[in-house]
Amino acid sequence: MSNSNRSSGLFISFEGIDGAGKSTHISGLADAFKAAGRSVTLTREPGGTPLAEKLRAMVLNDAMDSLTESLLIFAARRDHLAQVIRPALLRGEVVLCDRFTDATFAYQGGGRGFDLHVLKTLEAWVQSTEGQALLQPDLTVWFDLDPLKAAERLAGARVPDKFEAQPVEFFRRVAQGYADRQQAEPNRFARIDAAQSRETVWQDVVTVFKTRAWL
């Protein structure tokens, strides 16, 4: 997959089912990149712009069918790419994005059982600009965790949103959705065993970046 529509920027996404524990590692990486002298854009999906954050609130809280949900998520993504991600990559920054399109394939495709061909079409529309290749992350760090363990971690942690309130079977399908995406594009994914201690997970995350000489 070519990413010719950028200069020396680096686009990293972070994925995993709810409760997999990616957040602390994302902020740790932001600090590590800054310490290495890189400019960092730390952002998330759905969200990352004022419009996309409004769409996020609807997607996370309001009941809707799967097509509506997918359209709102991709609409948010389109705005986020245009306003934040592409400009940051063109400035040569490191973009650390908490979730991206793999989450749509995992949650809407896997979890909800929504049509993957429609998602593929939306992906192509939203992540392409005229005359340029489809923009994908350079690397996707996937925090893989058994859905039962994730449910234990989430239990009582906070008031669950629409997705966090789903039963464990939903998250099994989401996890399978991630595994399918990894299988389709193994070189883009770095799988982290998120069942390990936080310290060991962090060591594994750092190793992923050091191996690529990005840190």
Stretch near ligand TYD under the rule CB under 6 A, chosen from 5-13, 87-95, 102-110, 193-201: 102-110
Task: Count other C-beta atoms under 10 Å from residue 108's C-beta.
Answer: 25
Interacting residue with ligand TYD among 93, 98, 138, 204 (CB under 6 A): 98
Contact criterion met (CB below 8 Å) for 168 and 17:
no
Q: Does 103 bind ligand TYD (CB under 6 A)?
A: yes
Beta strands in 117-206 (DSSP E): 139-144, 189-193
Residues 10-29 that bind ligand TYD (CB under 6 A): 18, 23
Residue 188 CA: distances (Å) to CA of 5, 62, 95, 196 = 17, 33, 15, 22
Q: Does 107 bind ligand TYD (CB under 6 A)?
A: yes
Q: Does 163 bind ligand TYD (CB under 6 A)?
A: yes
Contact criterion met (CB below 8 Å) for 127 and 134:
yes
Given strand 189-193, what is the order of strands in its sheet? 40-44, 94-98, 10-15, 139-144, 189-193
Q: Does 127 bind ligand TYD (CB under 6 A)?
A: no
**Min dist. Cβ of residue 67 to ligand TYD (A):** 13
Contact criterion met (CB below 8 Å) for 98 and 137:
no
Residue 123 CA: distances (Å) to CA of 47, 74, 100, 178, 199 = 16, 8, 11, 16, 35
**Min dist. Cβ of residue 183 to ligand TYD (A):** 19
Q: Does 94 bind ligand TYD (CB under 6 A)?
A: no
Q: Does 204 bind ligand TYD (CB under 6 A)?
A: no
**Min dist. Cβ of residue 20 to ligand TYD (A):** 9
The residues that bridge with 13 in the sheet, in sequence order, are: 97, 140
CA distance 157 to 151: 10
**Min dist. Cβ of residue 16 to ligand TYD (A):** 9
Total residues contacting ligand TYD by CB under 6 A comes to 14
Q: Does 46 bind ligand TYD (CB under 6 A)?
A: yes
Q: Does 48 bind ligand TYD (CB under 6 A)?
A: no
Please, which residue, 75 or 195, has the CB nearer to ligand TYD?
Answer: 75
Binding residues (CB under 6 A) for ligand TYD: these are 18, 23, 45-46, 60, 73, 98-99, 103-104, 107-108, 163-164
